[in-house]
Amino acid sequence: MRSIVRKSILDVTPYLPGKPIEEVKRELGLKDVVKLASNESPFSPSPKVLETITRAARDLNRYPDGGCYHLRQALSRRLGVEGNQIIFGNGSDEIIVMAVRAFVEKGDEVILARPSFLIYEIASKIAGAQMKAVSLKDFRYDLSGMKKAVTKKTKIIFIGNPDNPASTYITQKEVVDFLREIRRDILFFFDEAYFEFVDKKDYPDTIKLLKTFKNIIVSRTFSKMYGLAGLRIGYGVAQPEVIDLLNRVREPFNVNSLAQAAALACLKDSKYYEDIKIRVIAQKRYFCQEFRNMGLKFVEGVTNFILVDVGRDSRGLSEALLKKGVIIRDMSFWGLKNFIRVTIGKPQENQKFIRALKAVI
């Protein structure tokens, strides 16, 4: 089949997700396993959300609302944008894929950071684009380097803000200065999957920037803070003409009815999620103190995960932790050979990880 497949497909390394808990239990014969690998919320959705899902399940014999009407109206009011400035996807990953489908052709160039979220590169390679990867500086985006990488072939610049796996962010001033310095026929894709966790005054308000800069797409998700990773729903915000183009490559009924109902219920239960943010921040402080006590370097960042330099082969360490029932992310696949990424979990999960880490180190 290789003789007939698209040549760009052969250049793609498939995305490798974190192992599921049940798989590790089966493989290693373990009863107690915690997963701190995929930046998921350790908390289930709120009781109100679960009740809403139960009610919505009664109509699963019908196709979902392809336009996500009720969720669109709620988000439009919350974000202060028009309904035709929003598009929904099967996770925010699909918004990334739609943007590449709509704007990138074979031979075009895409600029991204390295390391960064792997879907940027995978989607662009499938489209036949050339990658211009700019290495992080001190685990932050090198915007000067990205500016120098721009050519007449550049179509999209991807910016994870906050970034995965570094967990760092770029400021309002940095974003505005960068946008002003790059020509307006290049699309800026701001991936803000973790923005709900950020508590910094200089974090950019990219939604407001849409009024000045028409070449922006902002994507967000209900997978992280809101705990809907299993339902897969995210959204993008842009100018109406950009959304119109994205809708032309969007699959019909791409967001299921349970996801739509659950996301809408999340927006109505802010108190529950504000409490989760407080818990995550408290547990992040616990991790940071433990890492300091162990003499480990780390990037504290502003998300629900931490990038840790373990000072040794991260693959071997990850395998040793797995045998103790702890799933974390080995970052050697990203080119960070001595680093692991650990998600903030519940207190008992975090304590289990720290005990295991101390034992293997």
The string of pLDDT tens digits covering residues 74-91 is 999 999 999 999 999 999
Beta-sheet strands, E only, within 259-354: 297-299, 305-309, 326-327, 329-330, 339-343
User: Of all residues in the chain, what percent carry a pLDDT higher than 90?
Assistant: 89
| Integer Cα distance of 305 and 280 in angstroms | 9
Q: What tens digit of pLDDT does each residue of 303-343 get?
A: 999 999 999 999 999 999 999 999 999 999 899 999 999 99
Q: What tens digit of pLDDT does each residue of 93-137 get?
A: 999 999 999 999 999 999 999 999 999 999 999 999 999 999 999
* Paired strand residues for 217: 189
pLDDT at 16 over 70: no
Question: How much is the mean pLDDT over the chain?
Answer: 95
pLDDT of the residue at 342: 98
| Integer Cα distance of 314 and 337 in angstroms | 6
pLDDT of the residue at 107: 93
List domains and CATH numbers for the chain.
7-43+271-360 (3.90.1150.10), 47-267 (3.40.640.10)
pLDDT at 21 over 90: no
Q: What tens digit of pLDDT does each residue of 25-74 get?
A: 788 788 889 999 999 999 999 999 999 999 999 999 999 999 999 999 99
Q: What tens digit of pLDDT does each residue of 231-250 get?
A: 999 999 999 999 999 999 99
- Spatial CA neighbour of 164 closest among 199, 112, 123, 211: 112
pLDDT of the residue at 4: 66
pLDDT of the residue at 225: 97
Q: What tens digit of pLDDT does each residue of 172-229 get?
A: 999 999 999 999 999 999 999 999 999 999 999 999 999 999 999 999 999 999 999 9
pLDDT at 18 over 80: no
- Tokens found for residue 120: 């940027």
Taking residues 347-358, report their average pLDDT: 97
CB 110 within 8 A of CB 129: yes
304: CB partners within 8 A, 6+ apart? 39, 41, 194, 197, 224, 225, 280, 284, 343, 344
Write the DSSP symbol of residue 222. S
pLDDT of the residue at 163: 97
pLDDT of the residue at 37: 95
